[in-house]
Amino acid sequence: MIYMYACTGANPGEWGILVGSGEWEFTQDNLRRQRFLNRTTNVHYGPTKFSDLSQKEFEEIYLMDLFVNRQPLLKDNKTPLQRIKTLNIPPKLDWRFINKTSNKYVSPVKNQNRCGGCWAFSSIESVETMYAYKYDTQAPELSVQEVIDCAVDNQGCAGGDTCLALDWTVKYQPIIVSDTDYPLTDTSDYCKLLTNTSRGIYVSNYTCNAYVAQEEKMLLLLYHHGPLTVAVDASTWNHYLGGIIQYHCEQYNNHAVQIVGYDLTDKYYVVIDLRYPDISDVYVFAQSLLNYVEVLLNIVTIIMHYKHSRHTIIMAFTVTVMTFWKTVLYFMMFMSFTGGRDRIGATSLPQEILLFHVPNGFWIVIPFLVMVKLWPSLTNSSEEEVVKVTRRTRRKNE
């Protein structure tokens, strides 16, 4: 059974949402907005890849696809509930690591691009998780495009309703096939249901309720039944860099996401948001790989220093100086000394250490050692260097 939660409705200062985001380009208006948000909240806002868009452009492109005002199946649940402190649930929960297997029950974050299909993405994510949990298997990657193209009473990439999407899966009993069989195209298209296949998943039931200001009910559902598909106000997420969002939970919900966990100590929900057009993932891993390669080359340069001419030393010294200062500036940007903090796409501190601090730390230390080692050779005369090379060659031939 799939549980839906349609409105966050958290009281200001109580519960918040923990999400993440990526790169930057920004305008003066957005910079002023980021500074205002940083002054008035404890969340870290700053330049991101959305900062070259005005607030209106961001909302029109990414946040106008959830028709929460068109949910005839929404029911208001007013059942009185016990307070959070009396709930018999663990203090922390994350369905991505529920059985110590990373992301077994939660599929990888998908890229929505500029298709306004958050309603379809979040609905399918719930189906994937419920299937994985029921059969204790790896979460399948199902076809979001099938829902975008075929779910009646919705408007494809122009927007839709999460409750109506799941209602379509139960009412019409389509086979939800894999993303490989019905791949994502990022556009609305005619429905191409694969009726002649047995490979896929049926949805037998779901629940769509409004739990406004009923955090206890949400927590119980998260613990006992699994992740929730929710509607949220994401109007400030275009500037989000880190922290717990608490004060921007209006009743105007404009985005659908999946809640996969909670933390009772710090009072936040763990949210899986959608990825948007970005090269950050490729950039991060390519940058990290190049950093390790650069470390290797600099180590090799030290060895080659004892075997090659003065010209090689000059070139190696130039490269290491460039590498050293480039990395120093990169660290300064990352640590907010200039330009603002760049989260590099890391979703946890271990990832941040592995992808940034370790390789870039070496990228500063090793070039510095190379420069120290090469400097005496650069200050020697060419005749002295020739003598050294001749002596090394003579020893090698003896």
- Condensed to tens digits (0 to 9), the pLDDT of residues 224-234 reads 888 898 888 88
Token digits of residue 110: 């998908």
Overall average pLDDT of the 77-100 stretch: 68
- Identity of the residue numbered 121: F
Residue 166 has pLDDT above 50, yes or no: yes
Residue bearing the bigger pLDDT, 389 or 191: 191
Rg (CA), the chain: 27
Residue 175 has pLDDT above 50, yes or no: yes
> Quick one: what percent of the chain has pLDDT higher than 70?
60
Please state the pTM of the whole predicted model.
Answer: 0.60
pLDDT tens by residue, 139-157: 999 999 999 999 988 889 8
Region 338-347: mean pLDDT is: 43
Residue 22 has pLDDT above 60, yes or no: no
Phi-psi region of 100 (alpha: psi -120 to 50; beta: other; left: phi over 0): left
CA distance 26 to 58: 12
Check residue 197 and give its pLDDT. Answer: 73
Res 168 pLDDT > 90: yes
Query: What are the chain's domains?
Result: 2-272 (3.90.70.10), 280-397 (no CATH)
Q: How many angstroms separate the CA atoms of 239 and 352, rounded?
A: 20
pLDDT at residue 170 greater than cutoff 90: yes
Over the stretch 270-311, which tens digit does the pLDDT of each residue have? Answer: 887 665 444 444 545 555 666 677 677 767 767 766 666 556
